[in-house]
Chain A
């Protein structure tokens, strides 16, 4: 099967201190992948560096066989809900519509087709009745649905989602996972940062175990083993982080 996302030796440093070491991973098309690991493992950083939101200090990323820049329109990114100001004076519809802006470039205005696309996306996540609401007047779960609608309106083939389950109610969590499975059925590739190990094994087909380095990547039944989980959650590689600290002070 073709590869949707490939990273090679992807390395990220914050203030000279590495937070991700040489990540090599190849995600086949049509897989639903959970990215799991302890706090500070670099889960969000991995997604952000793939998207180029944080600069990587080494390695490369390919999307559907090409450098990210050439295939950016095939990638949808869902940032963490807390990353934006929800008092911003935009409506639910405005946010969903932003998903279509990538295809429009800098100057073209969204027309009927784009508005229809945004509407369909909102319908799919059950937020159409709230179209005209200002986004601050929504619950956490509803805000997350709006973010997902924006991603759906992008109509991408590969999705990178940063903690879409954080702070949402049980009904929204179920609705989101339903939606993710449906996306996979339609051949989309979805990577999801997830912090709950318990549900991770039920929600995803593949897991990417991360703790500053890639611990394992593969089908749930292969990598959801006590040994690998111990390796992921059993603390940092002490020498690795000590040396990194020392190097950062140079």
Chain B
């Protein structure tokens, strides 16, 4: 057979090829599974194939991969069909129906296997995965199935995408939604069965979910998600397969799953947009900016209280205004110094706003007072209710909103408490 040319003769080569096929197929299908919130369905199908595997082993003493494959696919589809039927005929929701079917098929498979121990000797390889036991005939079957899967997904990528995104709309386009759904379940079962011998019934759904979930955290583009998900699937398959083949006492399925989870953990923390670390950093940056802006505002208000009579503001006054120690005020000012918002006096006991510091301080005070005025005038707030709100809003008003506010309020000069609204645009630009 032509395919045999692609199959390496060494044991390690076979294991790697199996891992690549497994990772590519389940990574590809997994993207759809994650986006369609069908993770549990993948789990149910993977458990549901067990009776099929047992049947295949019993009725095909020579262990023909084709027979086992077909029996497993049939059992998986039967399981998925039962879930849908249960949902259609009762008021049970999908998670419950899935739970029942998953447990029943798995229990039935184990039971059946126990009663036919001698003819089903290889079943442990299907339960927990054993990449070393995959032979040339198995690989041939895996290649055919994965090839078919990739071709169908490539050809039907657009309809499958639209259907996953908006099923109602895809009906309006004239797509044969029932047919496409059936195709999808077929492909899903295929990918489960392909991964079976490498990862095992119990863990094969992890290969559908985890690599795709990592990809989903990394990108906002569907095409990229497909590629990344396949890459992660292949990577965890190969790493897990190699470790399991070269170290004793390392079962393939669990090691591959752990490798996939490691990739997920890395993206969970480090993904540039949706990762946890990025979120923490963003929040920290925002908090520090708000802090700086509040210090600037305090300096401005001290100046304002003295009628802008002198440029220097003593650190002691600032500490008092911010209700903090002088030490603390010094720290706050260090942050402002780094951003060139202030200059320190020669004796280090007073600060003076730079041009950009002036402008930013005025912006904050303006935003605060504009927002107070807006709340009292347009939203009918009482004027003693608006300060707290404005304390938060002043930091997030964009230039466009400010313009809009000024227009709506007819370019006001005083806030609701009678204080003047500063006009930062009048501050001369710093000389470059």
Q: Which residues of A contact B (CB under 8 A)?
A: 48, 51-53, 72-73, 75-77, 79, 83-85, 88-91, 94-95, 98, 101-102, 104, 106-107, 109, 134, 136, 150
Residues of A within 8 A of B235 (CB): none
* Interface pairs (30), CB distance under 8 Å: A51-B168, A51-B171, A51-B172, A53-B172, A72-B172, A73-B174, A79-B166, A84-B165, A85-B35, A85-B165, A88-B35, A88-B165, A89-B216, A89-B220, A89-B221, A89-B222, A89-B224, A90-B161, A90-B165, A98-B162, A98-B166, A101-B159, A101-B173, A102-B174, A104-B158, A106-B159, A106-B176, A109-B158, A134-B220, A134-B221
For the complex formed, measure the closest distance between the CB of B364 and the CB atoms of chain A, giving whole angstroms: 25
Given known A89-B219, A89-B220, contact A84–B174 (CB-CB < 8 A) = no
A53: contacting residue among B155, B171, B225, CB under 8 A: B171
When the two chains form their complex, are residues A106 and B175 in contact, meaning their CB atoms are under 8 A apart? Answer: yes
When the two chains form their complex, are residues A52 and B171 in contact, meaning their CB atoms are under 8 A apart? Answer: yes
Given known A73-B174, A89-B221, contact A84–B166 (CB-CB < 8 A) = yes
Residues of B within 8 A of A79 (CB): 166, 168-169
Q: Which residue of A lies closest to B159 (CB)?
A: A106
Residues of B within 8 A of A109 (CB): 158
Given contacts A72-B174, A106-B156, A107-B156, 5 further A-B contacts (CB under 8 A): A51-B171, A83-B168, A101-B158, A101-B173, A106-B159
Report Cα–Cα, A203/B97, bound state, in Å: 46
When the two chains form their complex, are residues A77 and B222 in contact, meaning their CB atoms are under 8 A apart? Answer: no
Report Cα–Cα, A72/B170, bound state, in Å: 11
When the two chains form their complex, are residues B169 and A98 in contact, meaning their CB atoms are under 8 A apart? Answer: yes
Interface residues of B in 200-256 (CB under 8 A from A): 216, 219-222, 224-225
For the complex formed, measure the closest distance between the CB of A134 and the CB atoms of chain B, giving whole angstroms: 4
When the two chains form their complex, are residues B172 and A77 in contact, meaning their CB atoms are under 8 A apart? Answer: yes
When the two chains form their complex, are residues B175 and A53 in contact, meaning their CB atoms are under 8 A apart? Answer: no
For the complex formed, measure the closest distance between the CB of B176 and the CB atoms of chain A, giving whole angstroms: 8
State the main secondary structure of chain A at its contact with B: mixed
Q: Which residue of B lies closest to A15 (CB)?
A: B91
Residues of B within 8 A of A72 (CB): 172-174
When the two chains form their complex, are residues B168 and A94 in contact, meaning their CB atoms are under 8 A apart? Answer: no
For the complex formed, measure the closest distance between the CB of A67 and the CB atoms of chain B, giving whole angstroms: 13
Most buried by A among B161, B166, B169, B174: B169
Residues of A within 8 A of B162 (CB): 98, 101
Residues of B within 8 A of A94 (CB): 222
Report Cα–Cα, A48/B224, bound state, in Å: 33
Residues of B within 8 A of A73 (CB): 174
Report Cα–Cα, A75/B35, bound state, in Å: 27
Given known A73-B174, A89-B221, A102-B173, contact A107–B168 (CB-CB < 8 A) = no
Report Cα–Cα, A73/B222, bound state, in Å: 26
Q: Which residue of A lies closest to B36 (CB)?
A: A85
Residues of B within 8 A of A76 (CB): 172
Q: Which residue of B lies closest to A137 (CB)?
A: B220
Residues of A within 8 A of B216 (CB): 89
Residues of B within 8 A of A150 (CB): 169
Report Cα–Cα, A101/B172, bound state, in Å: 11
Q: Which residue of B lies closest to A90 (CB)?
A: B222
Residues of A within 8 A of B159 (CB): 101, 106
Q: Which residue of A lies closest to B219 (CB)?
A: A89
Residues of A within 8 A of B156 (CB): 106-107
Most buried by B among A94, A107, A134: A94
Residues of B within 8 A of A95 (CB): 165
When the two chains form their complex, are residues B168 and A89 in contact, meaning their CB atoms are under 8 A apart? Answer: no
Report Cα–Cα, A132/B206, bound state, in Å: 32
Residues of A within 8 A of B220 (CB): 89, 91, 134, 136
Report Cα–Cα, A136/B224, bound state, in Å: 17
Report Cα–Cα, A150/B168, bound state, in Å: 14
